[in-house]
Amino acid sequence: MAKTDYRESGVDIDAGNETVRRIKTLARDTYTPGVLSGVGSFGGLFALDPSIPEPVLVASADGVGTKLKVAFMAGVHRTIGVDLVNHCVNDILVQGARPLFFLDYLATGRLSADVAEQIVQGMAQACRANGCALLGGETAEMPGFYAAGEYDVAGFIVGVVSRGKVIDGRSIRAGDVLVALPSTGLHTNGYSLARRIAFDVLGLRVDSHVDELGATVGEALLRTHRSYLPEIGPLLGRGVIKGMAHITGGGITENLPRVLPDGLGFSLDRKSWQVPPIFTWLQRAGQLDEAEMFRAFNMGVGLIMVCAPEHAAELLALPGSWRLGHVGDVPVFHSLG
């Protein structure tokens, strides 16, 4: 019988060790005072700041969907790490939480230390920008499970908010104001439809330049998911924001109702913002109606804040913000104009 080993079966332990070595260096640069352990332990240790009154931990997990397919085609992987962290940061931010630490799960068929390093470089960059520690994670090599050159990645985040400062939307009332902050593109949702339109319907390549977008298809689709913590962070705990919605899968149509009390709906002023070219281009090329667009994509609206009318001016002072609409006493989505 021929001699075999783990490497012959597709798993390269040496490559895994080299990946961990590179990750350790990147992770160390993100450490905050609460970190008590290093990458490589069986579990990450983190100590809460004892000065936080009645701390409530807020946790979330997510991925970046089929945006990964565009990254594979373009050979660009660092932005995926940024996307993953920022998406998770936003998901706990809308409940009033500041991020404490982040963990990742990277799975691939055959591990490339260079690709893994690029992904983690992006994660580390975003963790530093958000004041969040890259505490640990898992890299899994699973030959025969993923196609050559492909991988999947997921992120797990934990943040903290004082119990009395949780933002849960309970105090939202009819007449409250909706204030929006713009997205930087598709963020991390709608890519199965966007890829079908760009690559199957239009027959474009990832390096095809589209004049209407002022970029190649790959550049336009790989624009990173933005973090809203820099803008929203100074307002947390002040009671001016009643609720927030991170506009991800399902668009405004599905996500804004998640923060509204039962029986309430909302009206949007469609003339209050100009939908970015990436969305109008996809809509025209795919012959999609507006209802489908608003469910599949964020349409240029990345985050929506709900506030009392007397606090609207403070939120509208945020760079790039605008008055999107208002909360109504009918549980439906109305579009004005």
Q: For 175-221, write each residue's pLDDT tens digit.
A: 999 999 999 999 999 999 999 999 999 999 999 999 999 999 999 99
Torsion of CA 277, 278, 283, 284, to 10 degrees: 60
Question: What mean pLDDT is predicted for residues 104-111?
Answer: 93
pTM: 0.92
Q: Which is the CATH superfamily of the domain at 13-165?
A: PurM-like, N-terminal domain (3.30.1330.10)
**For the chain, what percent of residues have pLDDT higher than 90?**
84
Cα–Cα distance for residue pair 247/300, rounded to 1 Å: 9
**For the chain, what percent of residues have pLDDT higher than 70?**
92
pLDDT of residue 82: 98
**Residue 138 to residues 20, 44, 247, 289, Cα–Cα distance (Å):** 9, 12, 28, 41
Torsion of CA 69, 72, 75, 81, to 10 degrees: 70
Of residues 78, 279, 141, the one with CA closest to residue 198:
279
Cα–Cα distance for residue pair 330/174, rounded to 1 Å: 9
Provide φ and ψ at 86, rounded to 5°: -65, -40
pLDDT of residue 334: 55
Q: Which residues contact 324 (CB under 8 A, 6 or more apart)?
A: 178, 179, 180, 268, 269, 272, 273, 301, 304
Q: In the chain, what are the domain boundaries? A: 13-165, 177-336
DSSP 3-state of 310: helix
Please determine whether the domains at 13-165 and 177-336 fall in the same fold group of CATH.
no
pLDDT of residue 9: 45
CATH of domain 177-336: 3.90.650.10
Cα–Cα distance for residue pair 166/96, rounded to 1 Å: 5
Whether 101 contacts 35, CB under 8 Å: yes
Provide φ and ψ at 160, rounded to 5°: -140, 145
Whether 299 contacts 279, CB under 8 Å: yes
74-78, 140-144, 255-259, 273-277: range with lowest mean pLDDT: 140-144
DSSP 3-state of 174: coil
Whether 130 contacts 86, CB under 8 Å: yes
Question: What mean pLDDT is predicted for residues 226-236?
Answer: 97
DSSP 3-state of 91: helix
Under the banding of pLDDT at 50, 70 and 90, the label for residue 329 is: confident
24-28, 91-95, 146-150, 227-231: range with lowest mean pLDDT: 24-28
Question: What mean pLDDT is predicted for residues 241-270?
Answer: 95
Provide φ and ψ at 72, rounded to 5°: -60, -45
pLDDT of residue 330: 72
Letter for the amino acid at 258? R
